[in-house]
């Protein structure tokens, strides 16, 4: 069995949407080609004086519907192909949610856990200065992704601003509030996964109150998802981090406190389990909210959840997806389920442009409106076209980008 790469998967999903939409070979050529790819060398002076070179990437997959938009990932395994795949997903995600953006992604092949705070800052600043010519509030707006957070965004905003000679908060989103960040951005991806989970349960006729959930991942997405679902009265029975999974905790809030104090999930009174055991729990909702390739040909077979809600980007391979479909499991795809992050990023960018900041309630209710609209569009398309929710989501996203291409025409 050969593992499909993230790029193969993304291209396969695009091909399927192109076929379902009846688009032409010309459309396929336009839609399957990333617009701008930049690979940079990022030298880092370590605290001990040594110099190390890292590879940095920024891919602007599409700018057809607006400036490109997407996160910056710090992870040892990131490469150009994966960055292209993730930038492609951002393109369909922004189109599906009808944000006025294209799609982008960037990253550095580094494990941030190996960096001191100062090293992380130097690396982030140098990466920013290397990609400086192609980013900007009207061109391409980075944001946090796996391995980066609001600190990295503050350094990116500062590096860009120092070079511009004035403060440019709108160059990145996911910034600290005092630097022009938006209320509600930190929890936004998780909040969107919560909305998706509750709506998917209702769509399947299951009462969300008391429904059981397993969450793979306890980071920026997993934590906010788990606590959000618990606060709504759902029962989160298991969560995991990179080191393994745990069950038998009294509440997500207690576990989080232990996790932040001790840096691990081995809270006394809980039971450890493997990642695979978590994936195979008999729950109503399974939420992969860690990295890609969690649900594969191998792991999908044992999944007993009724619904899978994809908090992570590309957690399911095409072979895994086919198995879930055959088992009658409803999958809410990544580009819908985790779109809350980029939706509130959009709100942040709008607020920065206007220098006028919204209340938490305003952010929440606007996020809810866009999530619900997108959710209903996907559900209706899946029903009327008799396709999976993933196919429906891609049809809507890809269809909007294709239409914008046609209307803009080809220059010259
Ligand atoms: N990294 C997030 C995603 O994959 C957010 C991107 C953004 O806010 O621009 O959707």
* Residue whose CA is at the smallest distance from ligand 1 atom 9: 70
For residues 126 and 272, membership in a common domain is answered with no
Residue 342 CA to ligand 1 center (angstroms) comes to 5
Residue 210 CA to ligand 1 center (angstroms) comes to 30
Residue 105 among the catalytic residues: yes
* Residue whose CA is at the smallest distance from ligand 1 atom 8: 342
- β strands within 17-166, DSSP E: 36-45, 51-62, 68-74, 103-108, 140-144
Inside any domain, residue 30: no
Inside any domain, residue 342: no
For residues 138 and 245, membership in a common domain is answered with no
pLDDT in tens, 293-326: 999 999 999 999 999 999 999 999 999 999 999 9
CATH number of the domain encompassing residue 243 = 3.40.50.720
Inside any domain, residue 182: no
For residues 154 and 255, membership in a common domain is answered with no
7: Cα separation from own chain's centroid: 16
Inside any domain, residue 293: yes
Nearest to 378 by CA among 154, 196, 122: 196
| Structural domain harbouring 307 | 188-332
Closest ligand 1 atom to Cα of 145: 1
What is the Cα–Cα distance from 146 to 313, expressed in whole angstroms?
A: 10
pLDDT in tens, 52-104: 999 999 999 999 999 999 999 999 999 999 999 999 999 999 999 999 999 99
Residues whose CB is less than 8 angstroms from the CB of residue 358 and which lie 6 or more positions away in sequence, other chains included: 182, 183, 347, 351, 366
Pocket test for ligand 1, best of 342, 350, 363 (most atoms within 8 A of CB): 342
What is the Cα–Cα distance from 309 to 193, expressed in whole angstroms?
A: 7
Per-residue pLDDT at 4:
75
Inside any domain, residue 143: yes
Residue 129 CA to ligand 1 center (angstroms) comes to 21
Inside any domain, residue 353: no
Pocket of ligand 1 (CB under 6 A): 69-71, 143, 145, 173, 313, 338, 341-342, 345
Is the distance from CB of 284 to CB of 213 less than 8 angstroms? yes
For residues 141 and 66, membership in a common domain is answered with yes
Which residue out of 69, 93, 105, 220 is catalytically annotated?
Answer: 105
Strands ordered across the beta sheet of 271-273: 271-273, 244-247, 235-241, 212-216, 285-288, 307-309, 330-332
What is the Cα–Cα distance from 219 to 104, expressed in whole angstroms?
A: 22
For residues 201 and 82, membership in a common domain is answered with no
Of 314, 332, 350, the residue at which a domain comes to its end is 332
220: Cα separation from own chain's centroid: 10
Question: How far apart, in Å, are the Cα atoms of 361 and each of 106, 368, 408?
Answer: 31, 10, 37
For residues 219 and 297, membership in a common domain is answered with yes
For residues 257 and 156, membership in a common domain is answered with no
For residues 79 and 212, membership in a common domain is answered with no
Residue 130 CA to ligand 1 center (angstroms) comes to 21
Per-residue pLDDT at 2:
47
Q: Answer positive or negative: Cα dihedral of 399, 401, 406, 407.
A: positive
Of 300, 332, 364, the residue at which a domain comes to its end is 332
For residues 112 and 212, membership in a common domain is answered with no
Q: Which residues pair with 70 in a beta bridge?
A: 142
Residue 47 CA to ligand 1 center (angstroms) comes to 30
Closest ligand 1 atom to Cα of 89: 4
Of 139, 169, 199, the residue at which a domain comes to its end is 169
Nearest to 285 by CA among 229, 213, 364: 213
Inside any domain, residue 268: yes
The list of the chain residues with pLDDT below 50 reads 1-2
Number of structural domains the chain divides into: 2
The pTM of the whole model exceeds 0.75: yes
Inside any domain, residue 26: no
Pocket test for ligand 1, best of 71, 190, 333, 349 (most atoms within 8 A of CB): 71
Q: Are strands 235-241 and 212-216 parallel, antiparallel or unpaired?
A: parallel
Residue 338 CA to ligand 1 center (angstroms) comes to 8
For residues 119 and 12, membership in a common domain is answered with yes
Question: How far apart, in Å, are the Cα atoms of 106 and each of 58, 67, 100?
Answer: 4, 15, 19
Per-residue pLDDT at 163:
98
Closest ligand 1 atom to Cα of 142: 9
For residues 126 and 220, membership in a common domain is answered with no
Pocket test for ligand 1, best of 82, 103, 144 (most atoms within 8 A of CB): 144
For residues 120 and 10, membership in a common domain is answered with yes
CATH number of the domain encompassing residue 90 = 3.40.50.10860
């Amino acid at each position: 069995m050969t593992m499909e790469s993230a790029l193969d998967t993304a291209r396969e999903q695009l091909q399927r949407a192109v076929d379902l939409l009846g688009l032409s070979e010309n459309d396929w050529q336009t839609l399957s080609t990333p617009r701008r790819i930049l690979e940079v060398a990022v030298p880092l002076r370590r605290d001990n004086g040594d110099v190390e070179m890292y590879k940095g990437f920024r891919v602007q997959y599409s700018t057809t519907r607006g400036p490109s938009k997407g996160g910056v990932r710090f992870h040892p395994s990131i490469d150009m192909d994966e960055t292209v795949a993730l930038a492609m997903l951002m393109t369909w995600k922004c189109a599906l949610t009808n944000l006025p953006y294209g799609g982008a992604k960037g990253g550095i092949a580094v494990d941030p856990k190996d960096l001191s705070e100062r090293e992380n800052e130097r690396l982030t600043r140098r990466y920013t200065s290397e990609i400086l010519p192609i980013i900007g509030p009207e061109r391409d707006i980075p944001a946090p992704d796996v391995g980066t957070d609001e600190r990295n965004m503050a350094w990116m905003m500062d590096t860009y601003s120092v070079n511009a000679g004035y403060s440019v908060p709108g160059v990145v989103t996911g910034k600290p509030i005092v630097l022009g960040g938006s209320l509600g951005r930190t929890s936004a991806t998780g909040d969107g996964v919560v909305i998706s989970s509750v709506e998917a349960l209702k769509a399947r006729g299951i009462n969300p109150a008391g429904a059981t959930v397993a969450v793979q991942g306890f980071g920026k997405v997993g934590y906010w998802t788990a606590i959000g679902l618990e606060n709504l009265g759902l029962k989160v029975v298991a969560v995991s981090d990179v080191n393994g999974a745990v069950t038998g905790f009294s509440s997500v809030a207690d576990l989080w406190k232990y996790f932040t104090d001790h840096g691990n999930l081995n809270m006394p009174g809980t039971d450890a389990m493997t990642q695979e055991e978590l994936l195979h729990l008999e729950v109503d909702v399974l939420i992969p909210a860690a990295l890609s390739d969690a649900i594969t040909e191998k792991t999908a077979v044992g999944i007993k959840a009724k619904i899978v809600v994809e908090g992570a980007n590309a957690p399911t391979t095409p072979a895994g997806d086919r198995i879930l479909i055959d088992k009658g499991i409803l999958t809410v795809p990544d580009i819908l389920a985790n779109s809350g992050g980029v939706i509130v990023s959009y709100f942040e960018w709008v607020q920065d442009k206007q220098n006028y900041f919204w209340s938490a309630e305003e952010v929440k209710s606007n996020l809810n409106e866009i999530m619900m609209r997108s959710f209903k569009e996907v559900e209706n398309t899946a029903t009327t076209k008799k396709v999976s929710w993933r196919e429906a989501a891609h049809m809507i996203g890809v269809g909007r980008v294709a239409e914008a291409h046609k209307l803009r025409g080809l220059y010259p």
